[in-house]
Amino acid sequence: MSATHFVDDTTVLVGRSMRHITRSLDTILSVTIMPIAMMLLFVYVFGGAIDTGTASYVDYLLPGILVLTVVMGVSYTAFRLFTDLKSGILERFQSMPIARSSVLWAHVLTSLVSNAISVAVVVVVALAIGFRSSAGVVAWAGVAAVLVLFTLAVTWIAVIAGLSAKSVDGVGAFSYPLIFLPYISSAFVPTDSMPGPVRAFAEHQPVTPIINTIRDLFAQQPVGGELWVAVAWCVGIAAVAHAAAMATYRRKTA
C-alpha cells in the first residue's frame, strides 16, 4: 500500500477523531482543569515553603505541570480507542480498503493535537500568574519538540491500554503509574532534597530529564547531556510501545 494511501486514510480518520473532540469540548477542559488546579495549589499554597533556588516558583514548576498535563491527556486516547474497539467500528474499518496502521496513527495524531491545545491553555494560565521566560523562538521550539516526543511515547502506551483493557475502569487504570511519576521527580522540588533511595529513583526515571530539559530551555541555560537522555527515553519508549501496540492491534483484528 502506497505512502500516499496511508496519508490520505490517516487524514480522514484524524478528521473523524477531531470531530468527536470538538463535539465534546468538556474532554479538553477536564484534562486542563486538574493540572491548572495543581499549579495554582503549589504556587499559592506550597510555593512559599519550597526552596528551588529560583526567583519565581511558577518558573520552576511549569515544566512539570506541562508533563503532567500530557500524561493526563493521553488517558482519553485509550478511552476513545477502547470505545471504537467495543463498538465494532474497528472491524468495520478492516472490511474497508484502508491502511491498517492508519487507524492507530489517527488516534495518536489526534492525541498530539488535543494535548497541544491543553498545554497551550496551561501556559496561558501560567503567564497570567507570573511565569516569565527569556527563551527565544529556538528554545520554545525545543520545548515543543520535547513535549511532542514525550506525547508520542506515552500515547503509544495508551494505545496498548485501549486495545488490551477489558473494561472502562481498566482503561483508566493504566494512567495511574504514569501520573505518579512526575510526583517522584524534579517536577515540584529539587531531587537533592529527597532521601537517598527516593532521590536515586527520581534522578533515573524518564520524567526527570524531560522536565529538567524543558526547564533549562525556558531559562536559556545549556541543556547538556540531559537533553539526549530525555530524547533517548522518549524515542526508546515510543519505539517499544509502537511495536507492542501494532502487535496487539493485529491480534485483536485478526
Interior/surface letters 7-43, b for 16+ CB within 10 angstroms, e for the rest:
eebbeebbeebeeebeeeeebbeebbeebbebbbebb
User: H helices of the chain, where?
Assistant: 3-22, 26-41, 57-73, 75-87, 89-94, 100-128, 137-164, 168-173, 175-180, 196-203, 207-218, 225-253
Report the candidate in 69, 43, 38 with the shortest Cα–Cα distance to residue 147.
69
pLDDT in tens, 150-181: 999 999 999 999 888 888 777 777 778 888 89
192 SS3 class:
helix
pLDDT in tens, 10-26: 888 888 877 777 776 66
For residues 1-10, average pLDDT = 71
Interior/surface letters 45-74, b for 16+ CB within 10 angstroms, e for the rest:
eebeeeebeeeebbbbbbbbbbbbbbbbbb
**Dihedral of CA 234/236/241/242: which sign?**
positive
Q: What is the mean pLDDT of the chain?
A: 86
At residue 141, the pLDDT reads 95
At residue 242, the pLDDT reads 94
**Dihedral of CA 148/213/56/70: which sign?**
positive
At residue 250, the pLDDT reads 84
Res. 4: pLDDT tops 90: no
131 burial (CB, 10 Å; 0-12 / 13-18 / 19+) is: buried
Beta carbons within 8 Å of 9's beta carbon, 6+ residues apart: 98, 99, 102
At residue 140, the pLDDT reads 95
Residue, of 20 and 72, whose pLDDT is higher: 72
Res. 58: pLDDT tops 70: yes
Domain boundaries, the chain: 3-253
pLDDT in tens, 124-151: 999 999 999 988 999 999 999 999 999 9
**112, 150 Cβ separation under 8 angstroms:** no
